[in-house]
Structure 1
């Protein structure tokens, strides 16, 4: 039976390969990307999938996107949150959000919450959130400086996003939607692009030597999409279950903090 999948970051890397796999199998795939060139790439490599262009770091555009998706697709079987971009220096969106926080944290919050009614209309709905769960233990929420206005570092921003994913999934998880946090670790997806030389060359070399091919990396993900876990919330690292350290109080705190941050743009 054909299903409906929405994939953010669906025009590049892991998202693109998932879009191709599921559209070739007959599922209805809506792949979200930020650029026309990404749409062209999707049409070449996954012509059965549908491209929707949106700047997912924008609260306004994300709200418009989710309104459109809810109208066009009353039932959504799977939401894959794969959009991510590494920012070597701190920049802000036009709405005043630090860009890593906007894409890695705020967008995931908005997409998962807004599309919940359509997910709940599906027979076995699930969210697959590609994040850094089970990774570096130093990841934490900087409660007094969520958008890292003081002492921004790209690794620090990324690790905060990884911890935020765990907390926001904890705040979200409840029947019938299955929420799966998934860390693919090192995958060959053009990781070197944001860096300048000589770091770019070193990352390219490391990718060639150690990164897992995308075609192999997505296999456990497609298996989870096909057969969501029984638990409302679960976590995996490279296909293997991992222990998730939940903190309900912190989860509620972060959920409320993001709700307050986006409220001026959602009235």
Structure 2
């Protein structure tokens, strides 16, 4: 029996994973913004006789304050966390700034994953052998807008999503460098095209594109979680692994540059201290 924490755990891949881990006997804690979906998952679990092993924390993870609250509630629920699976993201065709002053995609897709993975180190360490699974798109080509990380001057929804993925690559590098010798594995994983598509608010052209992507996607959420479950059950040997579905991606490329990762870590800490 494992203690599993899943962000974005009430829809899509996150929900499929939460159900699979619950049904095999794990303790599952899901974090998501919609209390109705959360209560639905709890009620469903109770009907299956798993109510005592399932927990839900409603939270808007685009807010730093909410991430800090969630960290406290996770610690109150689990003394040890065997796997932290980071699925939460939300596409926006138009730029939005949170109440705390961060661009929404940067805050939810990158900053929340930074805060939760670093904030749960002690709980992950307590598990002995634990895994952080960052569900993103590792190794995508392109460059980071270092002078405009939150795309204030040149926002585009797709560019925000791709940049978020590249920031998560560097998060994995710096996180593994700091904690990889503590028995915790960090895995950047793209599970494959999935028929659930993307959650988000879209302009008409993007909405049509998303629908076409869903039609072309080969996998159901239940199929997409298979490689994620394998990583949870069989953590890789190295401190950092990048996977496209279940195939390793070379870490010897610019996406995983340690100097860039160190730079991003410093900039992130400075941004958090300012706001």
Q: Same fold (TM over 0.5)?
A: yes
- C-alpha deviation, 1:67, in angstroms: 1.7
Aligned length: 262
2:190 equivalent in structure 1 = 183
Cα distance in structure 2, aligned partners of 1:51 and 1:201: 33
Q: Secondary structure at the match of 2:243?
A: strand
TM-score (norm 2): 0.90
Q: Secondary structure at the match of 1:91?
A: coil
- In structure 1, stretches of 5+ residues that fail to align are none
Tell me if the contact between 1:119 and 1:177 (Cα under 8 Å) persists in the aligned partners: yes
Tell me if the contact between 1:192 and 1:203 (Cα under 8 Å) persists in the aligned partners: no
The yes-or-no answer on 1:247 pairing with 2:257 is: yes
Cα distance in structure 2, aligned partners of 1:41 and 1:211: 27
- In structure 2, stretches of 5+ residues that fail to align are none
Q: Deviations over 1:136-158 (max 9, x none)?
A: x12x2211111110010011111
Q: Which residue of 52, 56, 59 corresponds with 1:51?
A: 56
Q: Which residue of 130, 145, 152 corresponds with 1:149?
A: 152
Q: Which residue of 194, 213, 224 corresponds with 2:201?
A: 194
Cα distance in structure 1, aligned partners of 2:221 and 2:241: 22
Tell me if the contact between 2:191 and 2:227 (Cα under 8 Å) persists in the aligned partners: no
Q: Pairwise mapping of residues 74-113 of structure 1 onto structure 2 (< 5 A)?
A: 74-113=79-118
TM-score (norm 1): 0.92
1:29 equivalent in structure 2 = 28
- C-alpha deviation, 1:264, in angstroms: 4.5
Cα RMSD of the aligned pairs, angstroms, is 1.7
Tell me if the contact between 2:90 and 2:198 (Cα under 8 Å) persists in the aligned partners: no
Cα distance in structure 2, aligned partners of 1:205 and 1:82: 22
Q: Deviations over 1:8-44 (max 9, x none)?
A: 0011100101100001111110000001122134235
Tell me if the contact between 1:20 and 1:45 (Cα under 8 Å) persists in the aligned partners: no
Q: Secondary structure at the match of 2:91?
A: coil
Q: Secondary structure at the match of 1:111?
A: helix
Tell me if the contact between 1:57 and 1:99 (Cα under 8 Å) persists in the aligned partners: yes
2:78 equivalent in structure 1 = 73
- 1:88 and 1:199, CA in 2 relative to 1: closer, same or farther beyond 3 A? closer
Tell me if the contact between 2:91 and 2:200 (Cα under 8 Å) persists in the aligned partners: no
Q: Secondary structure at the match of 2:16?
A: helix
More helix by share: 2
- 1:60 and 1:148, CA in 2 relative to 1: closer, same or farther beyond 3 A? same
Q: Which residue of 204, 219, 236 corresponds with 2:243?
A: 236
- C-alpha deviation, 1:209, in angstroms: 3.1
Q: Pairwise mapping of residues 163-178 of structure 1 onto structure 2 (< 5 A)?
A: 163-173=166-176, 174-175=180-181, 176-178=183-185
Cα distance in structure 1, aligned partners of 2:213 and 2:76: 44
Cα distance in structure 1, aligned partners of 2:235 and 2:111: 24
Tell me if the contact between 2:22 and 2:28 (Cα under 8 Å) persists in the aligned partners: yes
